[in-house]
Structure 1
Amino acid sequence: MEKIFCFYFKKMENSNLRIYPGKLGNKIFTKISKKAWIEWLKVQTILINENNLNMSNDEDIKKIECKMINFLFKK
């Protein structure tokens, strides 16, 4: 397993899979560890449930994406 310098947890194991599409997905793949991604998924689930977000709604997707960027890269 390849190690990366994770923005969130520092030096950690990266994910084997590209877990998000596009340029942001590439940044996540190269700068966010598997452990940080799992932590984000827990927070994301809470945010979706508490705010009653609909992940088929573009506006709600943008809200979650903004929260994800803040969580992963602005610690």
Structure 2
Amino acid sequence: MPRQVYCQYEKRDTEGLDFAPWPGELGKRIYAGIGKQAWQAWLAHQTMLINENRLSPMDPKHRAFLEERMVKFLFEGEAGQVAGYVPPAD
């Protein structure tokens, strides 16, 4: 049976991650309190942030910005709009 966690993003019990996806204490916090679906939602949002803001994961300033946005997205419920993003027309 998959590991269950109370997901702080989805506010419900859900399947937990298989490993800590981030180093350090923040990684432990994510592993303990974020589900797989919430993590996938963050990865999609992160991709938009990287693309629309032309960020480089190699740049320490950009990584710090992404980490700050990740905490807000996953734990504080602040997804925010991605500047420049226009949803595709149906």
TM-score, normalization by structure 2: 0.81
Q: Taking every aligned residue pair, what percent have the same amino acid on both sides?
A: 36
Partner residue, 2:6:
5
Partner residue, 1:26:
28
After TM superposition, list the pairs within 5 Å mapping 1:37-56 onto structure 2.
37-56=39-58
The Cα RMSD (Å) is 0.6
More helix, by proportion: 1
Structure 2: state its 5+ residue gaps.
Answer: 78-90
Structure 1: state its 5+ residue gaps.
Answer: none
Query: Which has the larger Rg?
Result: 2
| Residue 18 of structure 1, CA deviation | 1.6
- Number of aligned residues: 75
Q: In structure 2, the residue corresponding to 1:26 is in which secondary structure?
A: helix
TM-score, normalization by structure 1: 0.97
